[in-house]
Structure 1
Amino acid sequence: MVELTVREALRDAMAEEMRADGDVFLMGEEVAEYQGAYKVSQGLLEEFSPRRVIDTPITEAGFAGIGVGAAMAGLRPIVEFMTFNFAMQAIDQIVNSAAKTSYMSGGLVNVPIVFRGPNGAASRVAAQHSQCYASW
């Protein structure tokens, strides 16, 4: 039996999808050069190049919107937030653009996108970095 940490399982799952489909790419805060705030994207930049593993500025609404647009255009983005608490800065893009577009377009426009990031309690971080949105 193979034993993996959650970090390794997430990385392996993203790498598997990126190998299988050239339209899958990862973008977000510290995902490339730093290899993820919690090292989830470790090794992906080396394997897939800066074209498919893209560091973004800390502008959650901006890069979430870019991801939504890329998905509408036929790509398959994985949008990673440094902590999922910061996804609240992009909630309009997540709820009103990504989640509702297929319905609002009568199924003509799909938005194949994944939003991900760490969630819940963590040591040595402030309250705005460690709440859990699972009950939402």
Structure 2
Amino acid sequence: MSVPEVCVLCSAAPETHHHLFFECSFSSSVWNYFASKVWDNPPQDIHSVAAWINLHRSSSPQARYIIRLMFQSSIYLIWKERNKRIFTTQVTSAFGVRSAVDRQIRDRLLSIKPSPAFQPPLLQFFFACTRPP
């Protein structure tokens, strides 16, 4: 099978993990859309995101959980979009992927049983972060 060396999401640079998930204009628009809701200056590489999650134990448990979920969902759906473009030639816009990330996050948060450890509840915290007042 022949897989292109150039990023199939932006066609602007060779595809590396760092480019695909953080430098690519398509991917960065997805990641920054969500990360900027929680961070003033979101990290722009996987190591910085992981370091932030590990170092900011003083942040609320809700914030750490939501950030991990945003990160996991963004990475998963960007990778899924990349593969869809290569293997089926179907294309979804960055807006469509952002909508899918939002839906995946909401579905996951809805499936979590309410817990006294998370006050306010995670879904309420997510809406407070991502929706204007």
TM over 0.5: no
Normalized per residue, the structure richer in strand is 1
Structure having the higher helix fraction is 2
Who wins on radius of gyration, i.e. which is larger? 2
Report 1 or 2 for greater relative contact order, CA contacts < 8 Å, sequence distance ≥ 6. Answer: 2
The alignment's TM-score, normalised by the length of structure 2, stands at 0.27
